Amino acid sequence: MSQESLHNGINQTAALIAKAGKVVVFTGAGVSTESGIPDFRSPGGLWSKFDPDDFTIERFLYSPETRKRQWKSLLDGGIFAQAQPNAAHKAIAWLENIGKLSCVITQNVDNLHQKAGNSPDKVHELHGNMKWLKCLDCFERYPLEDLLARFRETEEVPGCGRCQGILKPDVIFFGESLPTQTLKDATSAASNCDLLIVIGSSLVVYPAAYIPLYAKGGGAKLVIINKAETSYDANADVVIHRGAGAVMDRIVTVMQQLDAPCA
């Protein structure tokens, strides 16, 4: 991508945001990697450190050894707890602050949108959130850090304090469906927005990757910011093949120069 094309794409995106009343942002792993969180599939990614079979719901339910390995990895890893929002997260939070952002739809589980300042009720987490544990019996939720401290002391996998059921990281494992209400809310938001900005997603994981189709079907403009090409590039109004943080930072700068009006 030439510098001229990059410059034009940034200016076009800033103009589309300024004109839009309802902006929805859809984020994928390419946003998280800039905060030091490796993705799953690339060389050096999470699957090179963990056994993917340990993240099937069947293995988790029926193997106490698998559950203990997961607790040890949560204790030793610290990837999600230590990660901090990057320029892309901060730019998305800024869009909310100026009244442009309708919501964020994310495939990421790292809680970084909330850390950056986005309101939790505006973040639709399609794959869950590693900050929480959920009881598979009574559905009580617990902050992960609280129970990690107990595991650190005893090395015994804690159960639900309410019913002693199995506690599972509140993220989607292989073999589980996406949360119905979250997917419904995300689909509705995409179908009714003026502009959808896809940031850092290859758009290959379904059903989440249908989100751009819902937006275009509703008449929205589509911007894709991703290092690699996607199968949706031909349908986008603007495509920028660059890293998320640097591009979003420049878009914010252009909008500030435009003195973008609040919705």
**What pLDDT, in 10s, does the model give residues 55-80?**
788 888 898 888 888 777 766 555 66
Identity of the amino acid at 253 = T
**What pLDDT, in 10s, does the model give residues 27-58?**
999 999 999 887 755 555 444 455 666 678 88
The residue among 66 and 211 whose pLDDT is bigger is: 211
Beta-carbon contacts of 143 under 8 Å, excluding residues fewer than 6 positions away, are 131, 132, 133
Residue 96 has pLDDT above 70, yes or no: yes
Q: Which residue has the tokens 């559950």?
A: 67
The per-residue pLDDT for 175 is 86
**pLDDT above 70: percentage of residues in the chain:** 89
Residue 117 has pLDDT above 60, yes or no: yes
The residue among 150 and 4 whose pLDDT is bigger is: 4
Query: Could you tell me if 17 and 9 are in contact, meaning their C-beta atoms sit under 8 angstroms apart?
Result: no
The residue among 219 and 207 whose pLDDT is bigger is: 219
Beta-carbon contacts of 201 under 8 Å, excluding residues fewer than 6 positions away, are 26, 27, 28, 29, 30, 107, 209, 226, 230
Identity of the amino acid at 53 = D
The CATH fold assigned to 1-37+85-127+178-263 is Rossmann fold (3.40.50)
Torsion of CA 46, 50, 55, 61, to 10 degrees: -150
Q: In angstroms, rounded to a whole number, what is the distance separating the alpha carbons of residues 221 and 218?
A: 9
The per-residue pLDDT for 54 is 66
Please state the pTM of the whole predicted model: 0.90
Q: Which residues are marked as active site?
A: 127
Average pLDDT on 93-110 reads: 97
Assigned CATH class of 38-82+128-171: alpha beta
Bridge partners of residue 132, in order along the sequence: 143
Query: Could you tell me if 101 and 25 are in contact, meaning their C-beta atoms sit under 8 angstroms apart?
Result: yes
Task: For residue 206, count other CB atoms closer than 10 A to its CB.
Answer: 9
**pLDDT above 90: percentage of residues in the chain:** 66
Beta-carbon contacts of 118 under 8 Å, excluding residues fewer than 6 positions away, are 89, 92, 93, 96, 101, 104
The per-residue pLDDT for 87 is 98
Q: In angstroms, rounded to a whole number, what is the distance separating the alpha carbons of residues 203 and 56?
A: 22
Instruction: Name the segment(s) of the chain with CATH classification 3.40.50.1220.
Output: 1-37+85-127+178-263
**What pLDDT, in 10s, does the model give residues 221-238?**
999 999 999 999 999 999
Instruction: Name the segment(s) of the chain with CATH classification 3.30.1600.10.
Output: 38-82+128-171
Compute the mean pLDDT over every residue in the chain, rounded to the nearest whole number: 89
